[in-house]
A and B are shown apart, each in its own frame.
Chain A
């Protein structure tokens, strides 16, 4: 089977969970005997040769031009049979075309794929809620309160500059392309439910976890005499939605008497955000030098080494999340997760079983949870013992191939 996987970015240039998951799947399928996989990652136009909309960067890997905004989700590349994308499709001639996301790529590629490869199975993995929410797909309102329902009239309250009619047009336009998709994949039940509520046909929606690279479980971090499980770490982008500021805030509230409790922050991406947010983050780092350390960006290969030196993975997201990659990685490496009781995180991390929940957006509750995690005897050991095992990569690949094959 020839499988083409399209991602909204290439992980060489864009280090997001979605890109990694798409790329890992491509590698996983391509590694199988008898299967052949191709990867197309969306890249900024500057990465491409002038006048080209597609560029091969490896025997089976391509970059494709495109840059959609959250409102339009429309590609700017040629969609006719003479376009580079059409040529590429004819060259690859895939049996299955798997879009890992529609953002940046543009919705129209789905229909081009359908036209040029009428017999190919078209699969779309859903990441955040971009189709449902103009607010970067986060489903939190522009006033930062949580959003439970996508609807043009409600969205207009968040975006008064977009008339209801335009938001309606956007939804109808998106759905006209989703109608071409044979099969949707939602990595979490929570995400699937939101899309079904929005109008996606449930029978075409499959819940399937992303592919998580196989990594041997780490030994427990050895403790020195009298030390507790007090080392917490955050892995991920530093965005306003991820709540890193909330994590630092919570750690700053811990009593001074609580010794040996610290937060390591691994990740970058601050440069994508506005000055105000960057300054706030810097002030938080500067104000909490004793408990909080920011280490900057890391690559996936470094992750086991970094997790070996900590006890807990902690998340602070103020939005719902889908199926955060870091949760699966933490489970695979043998670290329990402390996360908000929200959406995809609450679904993946079972409270008191594979981790601890705190009340989302509440630094006080998080501080108390951290204090408990660091001090309650036997808690860490109990949770570690019950960590779920993420599906093996070959099983995930197999499940995907099964979806591609069935029509």
Chain B
């Protein structure tokens, strides 16, 4: 017998009610009935019939509250008259019977008796046997039951049989069969699971604090999988505990009960319970086979300190429950308990964090999961990448924890992404592994670099594995960080149709949270003047240079003979430190040649399209700005005057753009609209109506929904009032659309002035999907951001008609 601390006071073991006679199919047509079955109390059932070579084992029960039964026994091969009675036993029959209480619905267990019987009938192979009762009124009830060959016994049968073996089945089998017979061997093996004298349910610790927190720690003699439910039954409440307790291995038990091996017999639970819920409470354990065990619960009331010490010893289970408890506590406003729990949770996490793994590979218990990166983005939350695979469908729930005890369930938030590399590695073991094992997940939980965050895999009922987050370097440069994150979006081309959801739910808000670098301080910006600057420039032209600096030569060659350039404040903005030296050398070489004065400004860094223009605007001397790409060449002199005139005279003009043509003469830009792209549903893109067509429009100005900033004239004051170009876009895609719509939001109108014609050497246009993955993803981010601002009502929807 156990020398374990056992606080159970009352142990009951009860077989489940067997299938009732009434519900069983009637198998004998001649069965006489005088009383409708529903009115009879007698019930007769066989749990299982096991067929061996020499006969049949029966296990079953007879329920006869009204003592209606005269005799019961077996009918062999349907011979109704030949009843082989159980009592007194027929010579062919070996039988053990006993009474045991049976709980019935609406009946107290003590009221009801049932004869359970375990019997062996020597019989020929193939003989069909029925169980029969003869009632005192002369009726005979007969029930057939399918037999199972011992060789076909499955785990359920064996569990059932194991439950009976202590009642003599094993003894019976050993007495009639060879000791090496497979059936006896199987029974012996199974009976180890339920040793005589072992308690069915045992509570080692039941601690209760004055903060109304109950901790249960104990074990059951049945492995987790054979338990149907566990509940707490108090006079006024019934609390389901099955999902709230943690199953855990109890190696300490194995020393005493060698049978309790290789399974999670232990349990742990942390429950917030009011004292009145505990008074007179019983713990009920119900097995899959219907057996029940009940014991009274008398927790020990302890100080918090003692309670906390105990929690620490079971930290990995405690951590799973603390967030739930904290959530519960918040609603109860139990500030003291909250504080204690928070402190406990924090200290548990900090103690154990470093030892936690980055991956779990437990296919049968929690599946497999690995975390590759976790970018901590401050208020923007945390972006996780990794992969998971759950070959046996264990479906653990996944939680994201902060040490303060807050947690978020992210089970359904993981965005699946292709990870062919993972599939390649694991295909030998899991041929069924698909490529969609990767995931990306934005957890909207403020997380700063260095913050402790944990991932919990919680598998019903309550078994958890814990992971820590990878220590992912968060690049200081916004561009590097974004590139780093986007490089972890695997195979974006394969999930083009899902990319919008990926951005909307995960990447978009994540990247939005990354602050663009702050503008360089004025003292960090160098400007170099070439030639004699004009005294009162009419317009400041901002031309960013990136990569190619020879465009400067080509533009100056065209500007040189245009008289309008006598009054132009021309600013070349070097946004590429790699070309600075060459640009300055070229500038000093060709300025005297072309005679156009200009300045070169740079901040010693690559700031991006929006930021470099915003920087240029700070240095602009004129009250009108022309944003100009370096790959634009005028096709005739006088274009600038045409644009200036349009801005000055057209009603409410906020910005004016010229007609831009390709070198071949086709239209490159004649105003922009927004629309979708069939390959990337959900995103909004800039569209250039008429692009590639011959220009057939009038020479007179026309109002437009949006204009390209490849060449865009506007007032400096308007530019500044709009906040310049939005530096939150990355790599120049939507800044112009954005600026145009902000201008419209401010009541300005946008005009195309086609009388001014310039050539735009737009980069050899690649389809979006043909760009590199990273470039494509950046564009999609910009597109998402643009759409998001429209949805947020920051400016008019470009898809809607303009107001007259």
Which of A80, A163, A169 interacts with B554 by CB under 8 Å?
A: A169
Within 8 A of A (CB), among B625-676: 631, 633, 663-664
> Counting CB contacts under 8 A, is A108 at the interface?
yes
Instruction: Tell me whether A164 and B593 are in contact (CB under 8 A).
Output: no
* Docked pose: A115 CA to B557 CA in angstroms: 14
Instruction: Tell me whether A179 and B593 are in contact (CB under 8 A).
Output: no
Residue of A112, A152, A165, A173 contacting most chain B CB atoms (<10 Å)? A165
Given contacts A164-B664, A165-B761, A165-B764, contact A172 B593 (CB under 8 A): no
Which of B560, B633, B664 interacts with A172 by CB under 8 Å?
A: B633
Q: Quick one: CB contact mask for B556-580 with A, threshold 8 Å, 1 for yes?
A: 0110110000000000000000000
Dominant secondary structure at the A interface: helix
Instruction: Tell me whether A108 and B593 are in contact (CB under 8 A).
Output: yes
Interface residues on chain B, size class: 10 to 19
In the complex, which residues of chain A have a beta carbon less than 8 angstroms from the beta carbon of B593?
79-80, 108, 111-112, 115
Residue of A108, A152, A169 contacting most chain B CB atoms (<10 Å)? A169
Instruction: Tell me whether B558 and A176 are in contact (CB under 8 A).
Output: yes
Cβ-closest chain B residue relative to A174: B557
In the complex, which residues of chain A have a beta carbon less than 8 angstroms from the beta carbon of B557?
172-173, 176-177
Given contacts A153-B664, A168-B663, contact A176 B761 (CB under 8 A): no
Within 8 A of B (CB), among A4-19: none
Within 8 A of A (CB), among B562-619: 589-590, 592-595
> Counting CB contacts under 8 A, is B50 at the interface?
no
* Docked pose: A179 CA to B560 CA in angstroms: 11
> Counting CB contacts under 8 A, is B283 at the interface?
no
Given contacts A80-B592, A169-B761, A176-B561, contact A152 B554 (CB under 8 A): no
Instruction: Tell me whether A173 and B554 are in contact (CB under 8 A).
Output: yes
* Docked pose: A165 CA to B763 CA in angstroms: 9
* Nearest CB in chain B: distance from A132 CB, A: 15
In the complex, which residues of chain A have a beta carbon less than 8 angstroms from the beta carbon of B560?
111, 176
> Counting CB contacts under 8 A, is A81 at the interface?
yes
* Nearest CB in chain A: distance from B549 CB, A: 13
* Nearest CB in chain A: distance from B530 CB, A: 11
Within 8 A of B (CB), among A173-202: 173, 176-177, 179
In the complex, which residues of chain A have a beta carbon less than 8 angstroms from the beta carbon of B595?
115
* Nearest CB in chain A: distance from B585 CB, A: 12
Instruction: Tell me whether A79 and B592 are in contact (CB under 8 A).
Output: yes
* Docked pose: A168 CA to B595 CA in angstroms: 23
Residue of A111, A115, A163 contacting most chain B CB atoms (<10 Å)? A111
* Nearest CB in chain A: distance from B167 CB, A: 91
Chain A contact residue count (CB 8 A cutoff): 20
* Docked pose: A153 CA to B557 CA in angstroms: 22
Cβ-closest chain B residue relative to A74: B553
Instruction: Tell me whether A164 and B663 are in contact (CB under 8 A).
Output: yes
In the complex, which residues of chain A have a beta carbon less than 8 angstroms from the beta carbon of B633?
169, 172
* Docked pose: A194 CA to B557 CA in angstroms: 24
Within 8 A of A (CB), among B516-561: 553-554, 557-558, 560-561
Cβ-closest chain A residue relative to B588: A80
Within 8 A of B (CB), among A128-166: 152-153, 163-165
Instruction: Tell me whether B590 and A79 are in contact (CB under 8 A).
Output: yes
* Docked pose: A11 CA to B558 CA in angstroms: 35
* Docked pose: A254 CA to B594 CA in angstroms: 59
In the complex, which residues of chain A have a beta carbon less than 8 angstroms from the beta carbon of B554?
169, 172-173
> Counting CB contacts under 8 A, is B173 at the interface?
no
In the complex, which residues of chain B have a beta carbon less than 8 angstroms from the beta carbon of A177?
557
> Counting CB contacts under 8 A, is B285 at the interface?
no
In the complex, which residues of chain A have a beta carbon less than 8 angstroms from the beta carbon of B118?
none
* Docked pose: A164 CA to B558 CA in angstroms: 19
* Docked pose: A38 CA to B314 CA in angstroms: 102
Instruction: Tell me whether A165 and B663 are in contact (CB under 8 A).
Output: yes
* Nearest CB in chain B: distance from A354 CB, A: 43
* Nearest CB in chain B: distance from A343 CB, A: 27
* Docked pose: A111 CA to B560 CA in angstroms: 10
In the complex, which residues of chain A have a beta carbon less than 8 angstroms from the beta carbon of B764?
163, 165
Cβ-closest chain A residue relative to B591: A80
* Docked pose: A173 CA to B590 CA in angstroms: 13
* Nearest CB in chain B: distance from A292 CB, A: 47
* Nearest CB in chain A: distance from B582 CB, A: 14
* Docked pose: A81 CA to B595 CA in angstroms: 11
Instruction: Tell me whether B663 and A79 are in contact (CB under 8 A).
Output: no
* Docked pose: A112 CA to B561 CA in angstroms: 14
Within 8 A of A (CB), among B116-146: none
Within 8 A of B (CB), among A92-121: 108, 111-112, 115
* Docked pose: A195 CA to B711 CA in angstroms: 32
Instruction: Tell me whether A172 and B592 are in contact (CB under 8 A).
Output: no
* Docked pose: A153 CA to B593 CA in angstroms: 29
CB-CB nearest 6 A-B residue pairs: A168-B663, A80-B592, A176-B557, A165-B761, A79-B593, A169-B554
Q: Can you list 30 A-B pairs, Cβ within 8 angstroms, ordered by A?
A: A78-B589, A79-B590, A80-B592, A80-B593, A81-B592, A111-B593, A111-B594, A112-B593, A115-B592, A115-B593, A115-B595, A152-B663, A152-B664, A164-B664, A165-B663, A165-B764, A168-B663, A168-B759, A168-B761, A169-B554, A169-B633, A172-B554, A172-B558, A172-B759, A173-B553, A173-B554, A176-B557, A176-B561, A177-B557, A179-B561
> Chain B: residues with CB nearer than 8 A to chain A?
553-554, 557-558, 560-561, 589-590, 592-595, 631, 633, 663-664, 759, 761, 764
Known: A80-B589, A173-B554. 13 other contacts (CB 8 A): A79-B589, A80-B592, A111-B560, A115-B593, A115-B595, A163-B764, A164-B664, A165-B761, A168-B759, A172-B554, A172-B633, A173-B553, A176-B560
